[in-house]
């Protein structure tokens, strides 16, 4: 018996992501600012049986509550419903893990952005908005001497301030 999958086969992922991006552009229209793929799929070390699609979606006029934002995301993706149903019929049940932010919220650096500096893939970025956010974070990480440490097994962590002294306060 074939195990269920959570992602399309590797050769179908680019077309799948294009279809999702097209749906998000249609669903959010001119309010869509940026779409960033992050996580294992962006890094290329995903597992087709366990990974999900991690997306940061930045759009103007999002509802203030999380539930409303997820409804807006689901509504936007309704244009790819037939693609998702076709994949499910072939044993592939795609799971999305979206993070939805307004441009005002997205301007603030969060720990989520750290790995995006190296591994995030900008799928849509109106006027270079999120590229600018990441450039600002990159500069700040350089200023404090932050470094990304990759362990032998491939896992990584950030040493945000290698010369940190007890009691010192700093911002990223």
2 or 63, higher pLDDT:
63
Structure-block tokens of residue 51: 């990974």
Pure H helices in 55-128: 66-76, 81-89, 103-106, 112-119
Confidence at 135, pLDDT banded by 50, 70, 90: very high
Q: Which residues of 49-68 are buried (b: 16+ CB within 10 A; e: fewer)?
A: eebbbbbbbbbeebeeeeee
pLDDT score at 23: 95
Q: Cβ distance 52 to 16 under 8 Å?
A: no
pLDDT at 5 over 80: no
Query: Which contiguous run of DSSP H or E holds residue 158?
Result: strand 156-159
Q: Which of 53-62, 89-98, 100-109, 134-143 has the lowest mean pLDDT?
A: 89-98
CA distance 43 to 120: 8
Backbone angles phi, psi at 18, to 5 degrees: -60, -40
Q: Which pTM was predicted?
A: 0.90
What percentage of the chain exceeds 90 in pLDDT?
A: 68
Question: Which pLDDT band holds residue 2 (cuts at 50, 70, 90)?
Answer: low
Q: In this predicted structure, which of 43-52, 78-87, 131-140 has the lowest mean pLDDT?
A: 43-52
Domains of the chain, each with CATH number or no CATH: 10-126 (3.30.460.10)
């Amino acid at each position: 018996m074939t195990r269920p999958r959570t992602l399309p086969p590797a050769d179908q992922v680019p077309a799948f992501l294009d279809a999702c991006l097209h749906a998000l552009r249609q669903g959010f229209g001119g309010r869509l600012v940026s779409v960033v793929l992050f996580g294992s799929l962006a890094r290329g070390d995903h597992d087709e049986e366990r990974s999900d699609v991690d997306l940061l979606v930045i759009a103007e006029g999002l509802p203030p509550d999380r539930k409303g934002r997820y409804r807006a995301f689901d509504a936007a993706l309704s244009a790819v419903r037939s693609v998702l149903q076709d994949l499910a019929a072939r044993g592939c049940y795609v799971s999305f893990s979206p993070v939805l932010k307004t441009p005002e919220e997205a301007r603030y650096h969060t720990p989520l952005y750290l790995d995006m500096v190296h591994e995030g893939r900008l799928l849509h970025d109106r006027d270079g908005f999120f590229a600018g956010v990441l450039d600002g974070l990159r500069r700040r990480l350089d200023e404090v001497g932050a470094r990304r440490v990759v362990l032998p097994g491939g896992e990584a962590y950030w040493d945000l301030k290698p010369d940190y002294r007890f009691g010192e306060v700093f911002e990223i």
